[in-house]
Amino acid sequence: MFNRTPIAPLEYTRKLWMRSWVGLTMLFLYAPLILLMIFSFNDSKRNVVWKGFTLKYYEKALNNDSLVEALVNSLTIAALATIVSLVIGALAAVALWRFRFPFKGLVEGTMSLPIIVPEICLGVAFLIFFAKVDWPTDLPWPLNLSAITIAHITFCFPFVAMVVRARLASFNKEEEEAAKDLGATEWQAFRDVLLPHIRPALVAGALLAFTLSLDDFVITFFTSGPDTITFPVKVYSMVRFSVTPEVNAASTILILLTVILTFIALKLQGVKGIAETH
Amino acid sequence: MTQAKQPIIQIRNVSKRFGKVTAVDNISLDILAGEFFVLLGPSGCGKTTLLRMIAGFEMPTEGQIIIDGQDMSLVPPNKRPVNMVFQSYAVFPHMNVTDNVGYGLRISGVSKGEIRDRVAEALELVKLGGFEDRMPDQMSGGQRQRVALARSLVMRPKVLLLDEPLSALDAKLRAQMQFELSDLQDKVGITFVTVTHDQDEALSMASRVAVINKGEVAQLAPPADLYEYPANRFVADFVGSVNIFEGKLTLDEPDKAAVDCPGLGKIYLNHGVTGPHGADVWVALRPEKIYLHVPGEGKAVRAAAQDAPDGHNLARGTIKGMSYLGDITLYEIQLEGGQMIRVSRPNLSRHDQEDFTWDDKVSMHWRADSPVVLLS
């Protein structure tokens, strides 16, 4: 405002229309989330009018055993699905990058199918599949989560494979050859040269897989049983009665959780590393 | 340079085919211990494939590679007594200089103390003392190459392979590295095998050069022989700059020969060729071996009053093009018969180039032992 130098033609960041556009975009993206968070502190049974500040809905949410159980279930599934997806996805990506084999295109295409196929179809497919193979449902925790976890791995690992594949494209094969030339075995070359190169992609892929799994509703809805409620499914069932600030509080906790996790991952890796994968 | 004469690498009838493409076609050659061997050829001639087969990154389709008396057919790259400096240098980007150079020793289980000493020694050798903690992205291309060199030398290989070692460096640095590489090879006494498409590099560094064309060895000779006695048109043309005239061999005796070139007349040589009489041959003549002067008068720069001394060949033409290159000037001259001939002339004084200009009539002569007759 008190800038005396005139705005040069390419200084877009100082132009009013650019600034307002960015502001509007931010507002459009984040206003609902911010409202949700604000109303989690609302001292009212309904989510419409502001009645005053309170933390009692957080207390209520954290004392709601079935909600906490659902959250624990969700986190467990997400963790398991992420680990398995990372391994399968990374290996698939390396295999597709390294080798030439018959029907490679077909394998590549079918692998990314779970990304393309509408979730609802996948959900129904899993429902039918687990019923047909008579997948046991009365297993003790956490084995009772196996069906959901398997379903989640199915749609998570292609994302990991995709990100890792993109990262591999920038790998200089001569580096791996150099390692072998210096005496490294296949495994040592992988561990010392290829793995450090794809590490940012693994972090990015893990983040993707974890968040995808954590907030999946459709597929989970079709594969969960009465004892295996996940957080999104639980929230849905709560909303069916009424949207109380308790739901807001629970959602806010979940948002915070994912933001913190993402932040830690980015800190560990460096934002630059993640950005390089794309 | 100590030249032990036994071969360290024996390449025996090696061929490599990628599908229908033959990259290396039945090459056999010996690389001697302690020599600086250069594989020279245009891109796509198979020289890099040959080098990669020596390193073990490609398997020969046919034939055998023997290193230090041991057949390498079933030996993987990590078990071979050779090390390679890659074209991209392939320095590990996530390790600092010390870890890069020490990598090979570390995975082969050498003790920490010895690694430290040998890494320091190798860095000293490539003049990278003080760079121990640098990361590769904080270094220039030339410095990264030195890291790659040190990383290979520290392994004390029997043979060091270098894939286009100087191609990514600027002209000044390249010239400097040429000397340094020769010097280094002298110091460590390891056999160097280098791949390059740059003839200057090959001529200045090599003890012997194998010129590769279309997967075959076109000629294997020391650099000077390669330049002065090329075996065929490909080598004559690829190594250095050359004028080539097609003609028929009309006279071929032990002490003289003549080639009748249409439009140019007879080119005489003071030595025999031992080629089939009347056959199509080619005469190769280097531009710097031609004397240039103004016809028939005293302004001649090098020649005496007459156009050509005894025993010289003579030709006349008109200057059609000139390029001043600083140390020399290159002239494109149209002969009376219509062909173009290239003549280069050192600029011995600042005013040399003023002696000739476009459309000047000039005469040229060259010694009878300057041209080379090529049968293929």
- Assigned domain for A50 exists: no
- The closest alpha carbon to A253, from A58, A28, A41, belongs to A58
Closest CA to B81 of B152, B164, B186: B152
The mean pLDDT of B194-217, rounded to a whole number, is 92
CA distance B82 to B52: 11
In percent, the amount of chain B with pLDDT more than 70 equals 94
The DSSP secondary-structure symbol of A109 reads: H
Of the candidates B264, B286, B259, B298, which has an alpha carbon nearest to the alpha carbon of residue B275? B259
Considering the domain architecture, whether residues A111 and A175 belong to the same structural domain is answered as: yes
CB contact (8 A) between residue A185 and residue B78:
yes
Q: Taking CB atoms and an 8 Å cutoff, what residues of chain A touch B84?
A: 177-178, 181
* pLDDT tens, position by position, B14-34: 999 999 999 999 999 999 999
CB < 8 Å to A185, chain B:
78
The contacts found for B268-277 with CB under 8 angstroms, 24 or more apart, are B268/B313, B268/B368, B269/B368, B269/B369, B269/B371, B269/B373, B270/B311, B270/B368, B270/B369, B271/B369, B273/B249, B273/B373, B273/B375, B275/B249, B275/B373, B275/B375, B276/B249, B277/B249, B277/B250, B277/B252
Question: Looking at the structure, do residues A118 and A173 belong to the same domain, yes or no?
Answer: yes
| Nearest C-alpha in A relative to B151 | A182
Q: What is the mean pLDDT of chain A?
A: 87
Token match 């290396």: residue?
A: B24
Burial of A2 (0-12, 13-18, 19+ CB in 10 A): exposed
**Residue A259 forms part of a structural domain:** yes
Cβ burial, residue B277 (10 Å; 0-12/13-18/19+):
exposed
Decide: B355 and B366 in contact? Cβ < 8 Å.
no
Chain A interface disruption, residue of B78, B89, B99, B110, most A CBs within 10 A: B78
Q: Which residue has the tokens 């050498």?
A: B110
Edge to edge, what strands does the sheet with B328-335 contain? B291-293, B361-367, B312-324, B328-335, B340-346
Query: What is the Cα–Cα distance from A211 to A112, expressed in whole angstroms?
Result: 18
- Rounded Cα distance, B19 and A261, in Å: 50
Residue A129 shares a structural domain with residue A240:
yes
Cα-Cα-Cα-Cα torsion B170, B174, B176, B182, nearest 10 degrees, comes to 170
Indicate if the pLDDT at residue B227 is higher than 80: yes
In a domain, A47, yes or no: no
What mean pLDDT do residues B293-320 have? 65
Asked whether the beta carbons of B179 and B171 are under 8 A apart, the reply is: no
**CA of A181: which chain B residue's CA is closest?**
B78
Residues facing residue A205 across a β-bridge: none
| 8 Å CB contact of A183 and B87 | no
User: To probe the interface with A, which of B100, B107, B163 has the most A CB atoms within 10 Å?
Assistant: B107
Q: CATH class for domain B7-235?
A: alpha beta
The total number of structural domains that make up chain A: 2
Q: How far does the CA of residue B96 sit from the closest CA of chain A (Å)? A: 13
Q: Please give the angle made by the CA atoms of B157, B162 and B163, to the nearest 5 degrees.
A: 145
Contact B83 A181 (CB under 8 A): yes
Mean pLDDT of all residues in B103-122: 95
| A14 and A110 both lie in a single domain | no
Which of A100, A170, A171, A182 is the best substitution to test chain B (most B C-beta atoms within 10 A)? A182
Residue B179 to residues B185, B202, B205, Cα–Cα distance (Å) = 10, 12, 7
pLDDT exceeds cutoff 80 at A257? yes
Q: Are residues A88 and A214 in the same domain?
A: yes
Contacts of B104 in chain A (CB under 8 A): 182-183
Residue A31: inside a domain:
yes
Question: In this structure, are strands B82-85 and B159-163 parallel, antiparallel, or unpaired?
Answer: parallel
Do B228 and B66 contact (CB within 8 A), yes or no?
no
Which of these CATH numbers, 2.40.50.100, 3.40.50.300, 3.40.50.620, 3.10.20.30, describes B243-376? 2.40.50.100
DSSP H or E run through A30: helix A16-39
Collect all residues with Cβ–Cβ distance below 8 Å to B359 and sequence separation of at least 6.
Answer: B318, B319, B320
Return the pLDDT at B270: 81
Nearest Cα to B266, choosing from B375, B374, B368?
B368
Tokens describing residue B269: 């040589």
State the pLDDT confidence band at A2, using cuts at 50, 70 and 90.
low
**The residue type at B326:** G
Pairing label, strands B62-67, B7-18: antiparallel
Interface of chain B against chain A, CB under 8 Å?
A: 55, 57, 76-79, 82-84, 86-88, 90-94, 103-104, 107-108, 148, 151-152, 155
Q: Which of A172, A177, A182 sits opposite B104 (nearest CB)?
A: A182
Asked, for residue A257, whether it belongs to a domain, the answer is yes
Going by pLDDT thresholds of 50, 70 and 90, the confidence category of residue A136 is confident
Over range A196-209, report the average pLDDT.
91
Chain A nearest CA to B83, separation (Å): 6
Q: What are phi and psi of A195, to 5 degrees?
A: -60, -45
Q: Is the pLDDT reported for residue B300 higher than 50?
A: no
Tell me how far apart the alpha carbons of residues B19 and A227 are, in angstroms, rounded to a whole number. 59
Distance from CA of B267 to the nearest CA of A (A): 51
Does A236 map to a domain? yes
Flag whether pLDDT at B1 surpasses 50.
no
Same domain, A110 and A180: yes
pLDDT tens per residue, range A149-172: 999 999 999 999 999 999 999 999
Best of A181, A187, A192 to mutate (most B CBs within 10 Å, chain B): A181
Q: Are residues A123 and A30 in the same domain?
A: no
* pLDDT band at residue B36 using 50, 70 and 90 as cut-offs: very high
Q: Alpha-carbon dihedral of residues A112, A118, A123, A128, nearest 10 degrees? A: -80
A19 and A66 part of one domain: no
Identify which of A79-88, A245-254, B321-330 has the greatest average pLDDT: A79-88
Contact criterion met (CB < 8 Å) for A172 and B90? yes
Residues near A253 by Cβ (< 8 Å), separated by ≥ 6?
A: A58, A61, A71
Is it the case that residue A255 has pLDDT exceeding 50? yes
Enclosing domain of residue A14: 1-39
Among residues B255, B317, B83, B174, the alpha carbon closest in space to that of A182 is found at B83
pLDDT over threshold 90, residue A52: no
Task: State the nearest Cα–Cα gap between B101 and chain A, in angstroms.
Answer: 10
Residues of A in contact with B58 (CB under 8 A): none
Q: In what order do the strands lie in the sheet with B70-71?
A: B21-32, B7-18, B62-67, B70-71
Of the listed ranges A50-59, B3-12, B133-142, the least confidently predicted one is: B3-12
Interchain CB distance below 8 Å, B92 and A179 = yes
Q: What's the pLDDT band for A94 if we cut at 50, 70, 90?
A: very high
Residues A23 and A109 in one domain: no
Stretch B47-61: mean pLDDT, rounded? Answer: 94
Distance CA B349, CA B77 (A): 55
Question: Which pair of structure tokens corresponds to residue B120?
Answer: 């320091």
Sign of the four-CA dihedral B137, B138, B141, B146: negative
A31 and A163 belong to one structural domain? no
Out of B97-111, B308-322, B332-346, pick the least confident. B308-322
- Say whether B151 and A182 touch across the interface (CB within 8 A): yes
Q: What number of residues does chain B have?
A: 376
- Segment (H or E) for A233: helix A231-241
- At B309-339, the pLDDT tens digits run 667 788 888 999 999 888 889 999 998 888 8
User: Do A174 and B88 make contact, defined as CB atoms within 8 angstroms?
Assistant: yes
- Do A88 and A145 share a structural domain? yes
The pLDDT assigned to A259 comes to 87
Q: Side chain identity at B157, as an amino acid letter?
A: P
Predicted confidence band of residue A213 (pLDDT cuts 50, 70, 90): very high
| Whole-number Å distance between alpha carbons of A65 and A76 | 16
Q: What is the pLDDT of residue A11?
A: 84
Tokens of B266: 């007879």
Higher pLDDT, A195 or B298: A195
* Assigned domain for A142 exists: yes
Is there a contact between B77 and A180 if contact means CB atoms under 8 Å apart? yes
Place of tokens 């293929």: B376
> Is residue B109 within 8 Å of B178, Cβ to Cβ?
no
Q: What residues does each domain of chain B span?
A: 7-235, 243-376
Domain membership flag for residue A48: no
Nearest CA in chain A to B80: A181
| Residue whose structure tokens are 């270098």 | B162
Residues A219 and A85 reside in one and the same domain: yes
Name the helix (H) or strand (E) containing B209. Answer: strand B208-213
Task: Tally A–B CB contacts below 8 A.
Answer: 61
Residue-level pLDDT at B60: 94
- Lowest-confidence range among A104-108, A139-143, B360-364? A139-143
Cβ atoms within 10 Å, residue B100: 27
Secondary element (H or E) of residue B291: strand B291-293
User: Does the structure show a pLDDT above 50 at B3?
Assistant: no
A197 φ/ψ angles, rounded to the nearest 5 degrees? -70, -40
The pLDDT value recorded for residue B56 is: 94
Q: Residue A85's pLDDT is what?
A: 96
